[in-house]
Amino acid sequence: MGRVTARHKVVRIDLDGDVSRAIDTVAGEEPLEIRVNGETFTVTMRTPGADVDLAHGLLRAEGVIRSRDDVVSARFCSDLDTLNVLNLDVPGGSVARAATGTRNLASLGGCGLCGTTAVEAVEEVVASRPPDMVWAAENVAGALDELRSRQTVFAKTGGVHGAGLAPADSNGAPSPSSLAIVREDIGRHNAVDKVLGAALVGDVTTAGALLVVSSRASFEIVQKAAVSQVAVLACVSAPSTLAIEAADRLGVTLVAFARDRRLSVYTHTHRIPH
């Protein structure tokens, strides 16, 4: 397994000033091959770390597993020079579900696949709509502020995305407390998979939860939120048309441009009183 960060020499050129040399801290990026029952499922570029969480989150989003009990074991292939190949043993019946799920959407979703077809494929995997949990706008903004404060790798490198999960409390009410899980990765979708995978492995309830992400709101992130029954997805940057369509049909409250204490709520606005 590679490093989360690395130090590199850099020449800094100021067109109105001097040229200087320095040492920069940069974000790590390496491929991770995820195998299911010994067969390659996908290869993703990621920041090393929390790889088991990432794999669980991805497999849940793609409809391969529904709970942590579906995975018998998760082991790195230690006979290789690097720990960049992770094999998960999953009962055959669980793997079969991927054939009618969204296994190929990660590679096709941004490359011309029909939007309606993509959303319909996700609908086949989503067990049920998120509960109608109400989240105060102040709590959404506060969660995003906390996410920024806890992005330690971003603070060093400026090169990774972050995601955080605020679950509903034990009584089913939204919690104003701190984020239960925060993860970072060079890929925004990987950061989300790591958070939702950690919730799955750690038995943290995602139904009705608030998911905050330091990126734009894309279809694939809405997909992952919907499969985990996240009630509110808040992203700091712009939404795409397909993200809005998917969130509307899948029952997710989509918040975008969530920064500077401003929120733009695009779907299912009843969950955020205004």
Q: Which CATH number characterizes residue 45's domain? A: 3.10.20.10
CA dist 123 and 250 (Å) reads 7
CA dist 97 and 58 (Å) reads 14
CA dist 136 and 124 (Å) reads 31
Domain end (from 125, 145, 178): 125
Give pTM, 2 decimals.
Answer: 0.83
CB half-sphere exposure, 163, CA atoms < 13 A:
30
DSSP designation for 214: S
3 is in an annotated binding site: no
pLDDT for the residue numbered 15: 64
Query: Is there a domain that residue 251 lies in?
Result: yes
Across residues 31-50, what is the average pLDDT? 90
Domain that holds residue 40: 30-125
Contact criterion met (CB below 8 Å) for 43 and 32: yes
pLDDT band of residue 106 (cuts 50, 70, 90) is: very low
E strands in the chain: 5-13, 19-27, 30-36, 39-46, 73-76, 85-89, 161-166, 181-185, 210-213, 232-235, 253-259, 262-265
Name which residue leads in pLDDT, 106 or 153: 153
Q: For the domain that residue 142 is a member of, what is the CATH number?
A: 3.40.140.10
pLDDT over 50 at 187, yes or no: yes
Q: Which tens digit of pLDDT belongs to each residue from 199-242?
A: 999 999 999 999 999 999 998 999 999 999 999 999 999 998 88
CA dist 129 and 134 (Å) reads 14
Contact criterion met (CB below 8 Å) for 196 and 165: yes
Q: Looking at the structure, do residues 147 and 222 belong to the same domain, yes or no?
A: yes
Query: Is there a domain that residue 21 lies in?
Result: no
Query: Is there a domain that residue 19 lies in?
Result: no
pLDDT for the residue numbered 176: 65
Q: Looking at the structure, do residues 43 and 141 belong to the same domain, yes or no?
A: no
Q: Looking at the structure, do residues 252 and 162 belong to the same domain, yes or no?
A: yes
E strands in 56-102: 73-76, 85-89
Q: Looking at the structure, do residues 38 and 144 belong to the same domain, yes or no?
A: no
Q: Which tens digit of pLDDT belongs to each residue from 131-185?
A: 999 999 999 999 999 999 999 999 999 999 999 999 987 666 666 658 999 999 9
262 is in an annotated binding site: yes
> What is the count of structural domains for the chain?
2
Query: Is there a domain that residue 163 lies in?
Result: yes
pLDDT for the residue numbered 166: 96
Domain end (from 125, 150, 185): 125
Which one of 230-234, 254-258, 269-273 scores highest in mean pLDDT?
230-234
CA dist 172 and 78 (Å) reads 42
Q: Which tens digit of pLDDT belongs to each residue from 49-102?
A: 999 999 999 999 988 999 999 999 999 987 666 678 999 999 875 564 553 344
Q: Closest Cα partner for 73 from 47, 55, 98?
A: 55
Q: Looking at the structure, do residues 106 and 178 belong to the same domain, yes or no?
A: no
- The residues carrying an active-site annotation are 111
CA dist 252 and 128 (Å) reads 11
pLDDT for the residue numbered 104: 46
Query: Is there a domain that residue 267 lies in?
Result: yes
260 is in an annotated binding site: yes
CA dist 168 and 228 (Å) reads 13
pLDDT over 50 at 109, yes or no: no
Query: Is there a domain that residue 46 lies in?
Result: yes
Domain end (from 125, 149, 174): 125
Across residues 236-264, what is the average pLDDT? 91
CA distances from 247 to 141, 144, 206, 262, 267 (A): 20, 20, 16, 20, 7
Across residues 96-118, what is the average pLDDT? 47
Q: How many residues in total does the chain contain? A: 274
258 is in an annotated binding site: yes
